[in-house]
Amino acid sequence: MNYKITSNSDMDTIELAQNIESEKFANMVICLEGDLGSGKTLFTKAFAKSLGIEENITSPTFNIIKEYEGEMRLFHMDVYRLSEVKEDIGISEYFKKGGITIIEWADLIEDIKPQNRLDIKIKIIGENKRIFSITPHGEEYEDLCERVL
C-alpha cells in the first residue's frame, strides 16, 4: 500500500516525522528521496529531536554517515556522493546495529537498501507545499503506517 500525505508547512513535515518516530523500533530503516530543498534533512532533524537528540543535525554529505545518541542510536546517511559506487561499502552493516537508519538520496543505492524498510519520496509542489509518498516494505512498516498515517 502507498500513502500520500500533504505537507503545507515545515510544521506539517515535523509532525509527520514525530508521528513516525513515535512508533520506532530497533533496526528501523527509513529511505528518503527528493530533490534538493524538499525537506529530507528537516524530516531527519525532527525525527532526531523526538528521539531526544540535542545535537544539531546537519546533512552528512561529506562524511556520508553521522551517528547520534538518543533514546536509540540514529545513523544518518547522505549517499548523494555514492551515486557512482555500485558495491556496498559497509552501509548495510548499520541496518543491523539495533538503532535507526535514515538515508537521504536512498534512490542512488537501490541495490544496497534492505528488503524491509520505509520509503518516503518527497515531491515539491510549491514554496512550502510537499507531497510525501510513503511506501512500507515489510509487516513492521505496514503496521507502523496503519497506526500513524
Domains of the chain with bracketed CATH: 3-148 (3.40.50.300)
pTM for the model stands at 0.94
Confidence at residue 112, expressed as pLDDT on a 0 to 100 scale: 87
Torsion of CA 97, 68, 111, 42, to 10 degrees: 140
Written as nine digits, the cell of 108 is 542512488
- On the question of pLDDT at 48 being above 80, the answer is yes
Confidence at residue 123, expressed as pLDDT on a 0 to 100 scale: 98
- The Cα 124–Cα 126 span in angstroms is 6
Confidence at residue 61, expressed as pLDDT on a 0 to 100 scale: 60
Confidence at residue 91, expressed as pLDDT on a 0 to 100 scale: 87
pLDDT in tens, 84-143: 555 567 888 999 999 999 999 999 888 889 999 999 999 999 999 999 999 999 999 999
